[in-house]
Structure 1
Amino acid sequence: MKKVVWGIAAVFLLAGMAWADSRPGIIPQMQECMQSHGSPAQYTAVLQKYCDPGIMRQAMGLLVIKKPYVIKTEQNGAAVCYTVEGTTEETSREIPADSLQTYNVCWENGRVVSLEFYGAKPRVHQEIIPEMRECMRAHGSPAEYEAVLKKYCDPDIIRQAMGLLVVKEPYVVKTERKGPLTIYTVEGRTVGTSSEIPSDVVQRYRVSWRNAKVVSLEFLGPKTAAGKP
């Protein structure tokens, strides 16, 4: 019994320390850009504040992406880079509706310094249920994360899943269907909390859903340099 109590306490301690980590988040300028997709005029006005003309011409193409959200943050020297996803609105035969598009944008000194389009994700990655997306986006604080888990997990799985809060900005790398189950393999970098859990290690886990509930959770350990479990 003591081991169980200590295990649960350790999970919550790690979660709290992860939340307190000072690694780069989403800067206000990036948030402003992502929230300005309501109209061309609004979006243009925001881009003019943060982009040179060449990048602005590129960025106008992003207006067809509705409700973009960051799935990965990286510090590259003085620049902070974000990998972003969002579903497109249909604007022409060349740009189909409801395709999941991905792009990367880098900021330095409050200005956009680079923009790269990755194109549409394969359909398998687009089939992420809303409940799974909600869980992955809830890593901002222990309280927020626990509240979301309570909606979709039984108590035993909640105790397991709280340990995932040390994984920042998780993203799905594989989707599988097995009968009534939808199974996601997820990756994300850890926030360093102890010598046992080093920072900036890509950890992997697998989560299975059925009828909008998490039914199993499996930790796969760190990703190797070759990208194999």
Structure 2
Amino acid sequence: MHRSSCLLTAALIIPPQGSPIIGGGQYPKPGEISLAHRGVLFLDEIGEFSRKTLDMLRQPLENGLITISRTHATITYPASFLLIAAMNPCPCGYASSNGHYCTCSSKQILTYQNRLSGPLRDRFDINLSLKPVDFTATSMTQEGDLSSIVRERVREARERQYDRFGEEICNSRVPYEVLLRDRPLTGTQQSTLQQLAFKKNWSNRTQIKIIRLARTIADLQGSPAITDQSINEAINLNTV
């Protein structure tokens, strides 16, 4: 995920001849991704957005900036945000459901899911497939850590990253050659990732995302080096 320092709520701006997400117009104005700079942008039903609009998210997700070029001006806005998105497994929403019948054909499901291009999917750090919640179950209450404990764990993990890199930058943004400079992967870990990448046809970006995520998990666990456990967790969180 891309780092964020606060949660921002922004009004929807729909510029003429522009995208409410990206921004634009005859005189370029910022869109939702810039209004959410250093915050969180949640796109519900992301599969309902046009593929063209979604692919325009690739640049800001990669470098935290968005450049809008028009006849009157070319403007670059900041757009470093945490993107959270949700979508149904199919157009009707009932694929793989135990309680409802899915009316979509295999072709319709594939077309719907392909609205998110491969290059855009590669830019997500975590991919989760959620199951319906049974609210009638008596054992659905689970014990977990208090928010204050989780917040402290995250703060400590960030401090470890700042100390390691010598500046206030996190694993998601630091150059890859710097990420593993002091604590590289072991030979066994490299070999395992290479074998999985070949078997599952992962792109280079997906492999790097997994390593960045594993480094963050290790930081949350207080480990100075990337562990086999953190790599396994990163793989499970990144690939559905």
Q: TM-score, with normalisation over the residues of structure 1?
A: 0.29
- The structure number with the bigger radius of gyration is 2
Question: If each structure's strand is expressed as a fraction of its own residues, which one has the higher value?
Answer: 1
